[in-house]
Amino acid sequence: MKSYLDLIKECDAFPYPGTPEHNTLISTLWTLTTTSPNHADPIPVGYLLEPLAKKLIEALTATESKNDPSNPPTGTPEFEINTSTRTIKAFTQPTESLRSAAVAKILRTWGDHQTFSVLSGWRNELYPIYGPNNELLFTMERSASPLFGINTYGVHMTCYTPISDHEKTTSGSAFDFKLWIPRRSRTKQTYGGMLDNTVAGGISSGENPFESIIREADEEASLPSELVRANIQPKRTVSYIHVRTAAAGGETGLIMPEIQYIYDLELPNDFIPKIKDGEVEAFYCWTVEETIGHLVRGAFKPNCALCLVDFFMRRGVLTRVEEGEGQWEVMERGCHRILPFAVWAASGESES
Amino acid sequence: MKSYLDLIKECDAFPYPGTPEHNTLISTLWTLTTTSPNHADPIPVGYLLEPLAKKLIEALTATESKNDPSNPPTGTPEFEINTSTRTIKAFTQPTESLRSAAVAKILRTWGDHQTFSVLSGWRNELYPIYGPNNELLFTMERSASPLFGINTYGVHMTCYTPISDHEKTTSGSAFDFKLWIPRRSRTKQTYGGMLDNTVAGGISSGENPFESIIREADEEASLPSELVRANIQPKRTVSYIHVRTAAAGGETGLIMPEIQYIYDLELPNDFIPKIKDGEVEAFYCWTVEETIGHLVRGAFKPNCALCLVDFFMRRGVLTRVEEGEGQWEVMERGCHRILPFAVWAASGESES
């Protein structure tokens, strides 16, 4: 069995500063930094594994050496490599669009040459990288984000529905609601067949969390926009640093700091979410206890397990007293980790 | 949440020899010993808490001093108290019926005087105490057994039923069966409202485990004798040493070594256990996952939780690989504890 803390740690798997594990891992990683007109110092934006760092240095060097008379050097090097601090400063072009174009050019080459396995899942969808003043530094093809260890942003919504008195009696549940839980398509490359949150997705560049959840709610569960808008409850974000495992497909060990905008939604008793886009195999309507049984058996995708534990902590299914003060604090910390890179503050979000 | 090991430890709560906790606890306990014609040495039969030991010494002394000319002393003292080894040798009369009568006489007095709270649950049912050669040493009113810390014997049966293909799809369960789980009457003094094994009960003196489970199956779940006899699967016993908590009602801290004869029974899909004797409030038919959810929330009576974990270990719901070798061994040990007093070997029992 997996404890709630085990589940959180499987998702928030990157070791914490001050531990020997952190020191060891950090000594093997490179940091990608960039610059912004508003900042004197380089801005760290991602953790790179050694193979990526090598390929990136190769690519940056090749681009530089190919500078021809029609595109004369500006005198400012566009990248700097520091092998003692294991830092690569790159994508320092003066505008966001130039920086994004430089990233895109390298990624297109890698994609064409099948340099990295994760790029075989090319999405044609851009993820944003933000700086400390909430400025967009550059964008990057979604499937490449784990390679660069950048912060990514998503939305997760848990839908629940009141349990009828009759159902409560026959099910023997101690709680007043049931949960709508989807199973991912078994043919999905990442976490195929695992359980998921009712609605979840990534936030693309230019999209805000609320628009994103409305769109995903329709695409993944056929939830009408009016119904969602009228009843959605925005909650505190969750954040963690995942370390990619084989279950996700592609390269393992990639560092994935993630921020999820969290929403709860109470659905009417007679409303049934429906499959729409083939990402979902089935929707189950489970009591809290049935959901916990699947959870502790490890049947949920890791970051969905973390969001569900957060939901249970917020909803009083788990309590500080029962879990124990110390355990609770560690669970809280793992669900709301302070990330090493600047975090976007999306506008128009507030906790209900 | 409670882990499977937490659940086992809540039931098998008596510390293990070699630990500081064991040394501390043992230093506060008294041991009751008795004699048998077949044994030169006194036979230890139970652990007594200090208050019981004091009352027992009082009672034994009073009985002795009341010996009158019509009942002359035999020359052999009927009890011995050793305050350095904290041992009381008692009930040494030459025959089982004399020994049992001596116990009964003391218990009747205590019952009349409300000396101990657990005796308010007087059952008029005798529990057997066996010696190392499987001989019946004496019997004792059931409700008094925790006071004397003697081994007691019971039966536990888990009934399950095949899950239909349709149910498996709609429930999303990973297992091929569902379980029949009763909730104890909320008005029951001991563990009221908690979840239980499908059928469970104590084995009285003169009864064997198989007769006992057949009787209880009828009384508690309206399971016809022919159905049970045709399909019952006897399994390895479980054994543990429980320490009585407030949830059981009455005095706390009492030591309860228990041996449960374990049975599994597959019920036909269309058979529904029915309440008969008012001990049960409801029967639920749960998927494995739903059962696990209630289990880890601590909703089961402690020894039923242990029996259920044993069932899951036997049925491959839990596996050595997933739980981890070390953890598994500790779980096994707690479910099949070696008890400090002689254990009855019931006849006619075999594991299928």
Q: SS3 letters for B311-346?
A: HHHHCCCCCHHHHCHHHHHHHHHHHECCCCCCCCCC
Comparing CB atoms, the residue among B169, B282, B292 nearest residue A172 is B282
Determine the Cα–Cα distance for residues A16 and A72; give it in Å rounded to an integer: 45
What confidence score (pLDDT) does residue B350 get?
45
Closest CA to B182 of B156, B144, B209: B156
Q: Is A172 on the interface with B (CB under 8 A)?
A: yes
CA angle, corner B304, sides to B302 and B308, nearest 5?
A: 120
CA dihedral over A220, A224, A227, A232, signed as positive or negative: positive
3-state class (DSSP) for residue B33: strand
H-assigned helices in chain B: 4-11, 20-26, 50-65, 96-112, 145-148, 165-171, 209-221, 225-231, 288-296, 302-314, 320-323, 325-335
Comparing CB atoms, the residue among A3, A170, A299 nearest residue B3 is A3
Determine the Cα–Cα distance for residues A186 and A280; give it in Å rounded to an integer: 9
Q: Is B170 on the interface with A (CB under 8 A)?
A: yes
Q: Is A321 on the interface with B (CB under 8 A)?
A: no
Give the contacts of A2 (CB within 8 A, at least 6 positions apart). A10, A295, A296, A297, A298
Q: Which domains does chain A have, with CATH numbers?
A: 4-14+153-335 (3.90.79.10), 20-148 (3.30.750.160)
How close, in Å, is residue A174 to chain B by CA atoms? 9
What confidence score (pLDDT) does residue A88 get?
98
Comparing CB atoms, the residue among A4, A288, A297 nearest residue B1 is A4
The two structure tokens encoding residue B200: 């469970």
pLDDT < 50 regions, chain A: 350-352
Closest CA to B77 of B59, B58, B64, B86: B64
Residue type, A254: L
What confidence score (pLDDT) does residue B77 get?
65
Q: Is B196 on the interface with A (CB under 8 A)?
A: no
Give one DSSP letter per residue of B233-269, joined into a string. EEEEEEEEEEE--GGG-SSSS-EEEEEEEEEEEEPPT
Contact A21, A15 (CB under 8 A): yes
What confidence score (pLDDT) does residue A351 get?
45
Distance of CA B288 to the CA centre of its chain: 25
The mean pLDDT of chain A is 94
Instruction: With residue A166 as reference, give the H or E element that holds it.
Output: helix A165-171
- Chain B residues inside the 8 Å CB shell of A282: 169, 172
What confidence score (pLDDT) does residue A67 get?
53
User: Are B296 and A294 in contact (CB < 8 Å)?
Assistant: no
Give the contacts of B14 (CB within 8 A, at least 6 positions apart). B25, B241, B242, B243, B255, B257
Q: Is B330 on the interface with A (CB under 8 A)?
A: no
Contact B90, B103 (CB under 8 A): no
The two structure tokens encoding residue B298: 């601590």
Distance of CA A174 to the CA centre of its chain: 32
User: Are A287 and B293 in contact (CB < 8 Å)?
Assistant: yes
Give the contacts of B8 (CB within 8 A, at least 6 positions apart). B240, B305, B306, B309, B331, B334, B335
User: Are B3 and A4 in contact (CB < 8 Å)?
Assistant: no
Task: Output DSSP code: residue A268.
Answer: P
Residue type, B222: S
Among chain B residues, CA nearest to A289: B293
Determine the Cα–Cα distance for residues A20 and A39; give it in Å rounded to an integer: 32
pLDDT digits (tens, 9 = 90+) for A214-270: 999 999 999 999 999 999 999 999 999 999 999 898 999 999 999 999 999 999 999
Say how many CA atoms lie within 13 Å of B118 toward its Cβ: 21
pLDDT < 70 regions, chain B: 64-77, 348-352
Comparing CB atoms, the residue among A172, A174, A296 nearest residue B296 is A296
